[in-house]
Chains A and B, each alone.
Chain A
Amino acid sequence: MSNTYTQDTLVGFFVACGIAALFYMALQVSNLSSYLDTSDTYTITASFDNSGGLKVKSKVSVAGVTVGRVSAIKLDKNRYESIVEMQIEKKFNTLPTDTTASIFTAGLLGEQYVSLEPGGSDEYLQDGDAIDITQSAIVLEQVIGQFLFKKASE
């Protein structure tokens, strides 16, 4: 075969292109680059009356900046509350102990996320601490129900 060398080169080029496409999808298209290394994070929990459509891996943000992700959502069997466990990046370790956690929706139909509002305390949240002041997810049906109820009573 006289053109073996050309063939080898073309096969090499093809394989390189395929691998480049996979890398492209991993880094540019998917969220792999934003995955957190768990060794660089600390865990805080917050219990909500209702965590709505919050999911594992939903983002946790302070003032709109993503500082971590939700790692687990469990049910407190005694108080029937939803316990949300969050992994926060270690570099954001100056959250005051009286921080408020709220569940908001990004846009009208968007994903739900946890928003942290820092308070004024001098002490900071440590690994394993719990946030006391929380505001539940807004359930659209409840809001509409209340609105209709109010309209009817007028």
Chain B
Amino acid sequence: MQIFQYLGATTRSGFAKLGRATFFLFHCLPGLIDVLQRPHLLIRQIYSVGVLSFLLITISGLFVGMVLALQGYYTLSDFGAEASLGIMIAASLVRELGPVVTALLFAGRAGSALSAEIGLMKTTEQLSGMEMMAVDPIRRVIFPRFLAGIFSMPLLAALFSAIGIVGGYMVGIGMLGVDEGPFWSQMQAGIDFYDDVVNGFIKSLVFGFVVTWIALFEGYDAMPTSEGISRATTRTVVNSAFSVLALDFILTALMFGDT
């Protein structure tokens, strides 16, 4: 009997959390007015969310591109198709790895920091303090972070893909001796701007939205204890990774399904 009780309670609390998260999202949207009035709120958050992730993303992108070139080369050279190395690297980066790996790194780097920050603000009653001063903390504190996350993610994903292609080029042409001409020409022939680059951009926008939303909500919803914050941070990374990978499948099926 207890197992039914447990299942029921878990399901109900899951739905309740989803409901709270939705209300939270709609509650923070009017914060757009505050951001327009005080742009420096947004700039500061772009700095801590985007600029501080910059180095991590570029270096990871470089190495992912280099590994793709090495691994792709060994398989492609079996078929004498080394010339397709460029299109292989570019397609996998622009369509999938760019948005997905960036979102996962972003969740680990920026998402966990956001959760911990908001969670600690709640624990030390800074958020209630703002409410006492008639400042809506969701509009004033949460929304700039939210917007910064949505804004930074596509830029970071674009950087990841571009640097990854450069890394693949360095390994492919520099180390493995693939011919440079077909590397670029097959890439340009195979990658469509709207189908691949723009769809990858949309993907990264969606991932940025989801990861930042989860991070901020988990921070805001955390139990106001030190254990609560640590749980919220863990949940942010776990839930973001899960949502990004699941959404990636849905988005890929929608975007690339009919080609």
In the complex, whether B50 has a CB less than 8 A from a CB of chain A is yes
B82 to chain A minimum Cβ distance, whole angstroms, is 13
In the complex, whether B51 has a CB less than 8 A from a CB of chain A is yes
In the complex, whether B159 has a CB less than 8 A from a CB of chain A is yes
Residue tally, chain A, CB below 8 Å to B: 29
A26 to B154, CA, bound (A): 14
The answer to whether B188 and A29 have CB atoms under 8 Å apart is yes
A31 to B91, CA, bound (A): 12
Which residues of the partner chain B approach A30 to less than 8 Å between Cβ atoms? 94, 188, 191-193, 196-197
Which residues of the partner chain A approach B154 to less than 8 Å between Cβ atoms? 18
The answer to whether B51 and A29 have CB atoms under 8 Å apart is no
Residue tally, chain B, CB below 8 Å to A: 30
The answer to whether B191 and A29 have CB atoms under 8 Å apart is yes
In the complex, whether B161 has a CB less than 8 A from a CB of chain A is yes
Given contacts A11-B47, A30-B193, contact A25 B161 (CB under 8 A): yes
In the complex, whether B158 has a CB less than 8 A from a CB of chain A is yes
A141 to B152, CA, bound (A): 50
Interface class of chain B by DSSP: helix
In the complex, whether B24 has a CB less than 8 A from a CB of chain A is no
B45 to chain A: closest residue by CB: A11
Question: Which of A2-10, A73-81, A95-103, A114-122 lies at the binding interface?
Answer: A2-10
In the complex, whether A39 has a CB less than 8 A from a CB of chain B is no
Which residues of the partner chain B approach A148 to less than 8 Å between Cβ atoms? none
> Hey, which bits of chain A sit against chain B, CB under 8 A?
1, 4, 7-8, 10-11, 13-15, 17-22, 24-26, 28-35, 57, 59, 111
A-B contacts, 30 listed (Cβ < 8 Å): A1-B44, A4-B40, A7-B43, A7-B44, A7-B51, A11-B47, A14-B54, A14-B152, A14-B155, A15-B155, A17-B54, A17-B155, A17-B159, A18-B155, A19-B155, A20-B162, A22-B197, A25-B94, A25-B162, A25-B165, A28-B188, A29-B165, A29-B191, A30-B197, A31-B188, A31-B189, A31-B192, A32-B197, A33-B188, A59-B189
